[in-house]
Amino acid sequence: MKKFPCVIAIFLILLLAGGFTFSVYEDAEDKSFSLDDLYDYQKEYKTEELSVCSVNTAKTYMDYRMTTVVSSRQYQFMHNYCTVDRRTGFLYDEEGFIAVALGSFYGEIGDRYYFTLETGIVLPLVKAEEKADEDTNSSGCYHVEDGSVIEFVIDSDYARNYFSTYSNGLVLDGNYNNYSLFRGSIVKVEKVLEEKRDDIVTYQISKDLPKQTDIFHYASGY
């Protein structure tokens, strides 16, 4: 029995030395992420404009804990480079880009994008997960079952406390398009490059966006 604490200590040392990550980093005191910043968002990086592969308004979600293969790029990215916002449940990287799952049409894990909605809102997104090709259309653009291009990667426990849920228990009925800030079609997609802009473009969007009237019924994840 006396040897048991020593065994535990050695085990923990080996885990730490190997760089093992227990969970996505969470900081309840972190104030660097705020959805309100999207109303006056500044694009800091130079970009390359890409094709808009679909204008479907659906924006679904998956819980990051659905990704369980530790050796996968997406697991490693989420657990080593993303923070959980304990207020909204969103995951975001060190530059404040919101974690999403995108199809193979849009790049690799870790690639960043600016998705502009028809309301003028610019969403800074980082590809943290990839929709499976067998679940998307032939070009790897959108999820066949619900038509979504954007699938937010979240902690659903925190998200349920912040956003409304429906009788089916899903956050925003499974579709973030039901939240006014994220409402509307995608009208522009830009891949973020490493070099920062010389000039900064400021967007000032009214918080009084039109309310969403249609209720969608999409399942989370894929």
Domain assignment present for 7:
no
Domain assignment present for 133:
yes
Q: Tens digit of pLDDT per residue, the chain (222 long)?
A: 545 455 444 444 444 443 333 346 555 455 578 999 999 999 999 999 999 999 999 999 999 999 999 999 999 999 999 999 999 999 999 999 999 999 999 999 999 999 999 999 999 999 999 999 999 999 999 999 999 999 999 999 999 999 989 989 999 999 999 999 999 999 999 999 999 988 665 555 555 555 443 333 333 343
Domain assignment present for 152:
yes
Domain assignment present for 105:
yes
Write out the residue range of the structural domain in which residue 184 sits: 25-196
Burial annotation 164-203 (CB, 10 A radius, 16+ → b, else e): eeeeeebbbbbbbbbbebbbbebeebbbbeeeeeeeeeee
Domain assignment present for 15:
no
Domain assignment present for 12:
no
- Number of domains the chain contains: 1
Domain assignment present for 98:
yes
Contact 191, 47 (CB under 8 A): yes
Domain assignment present for 41:
yes
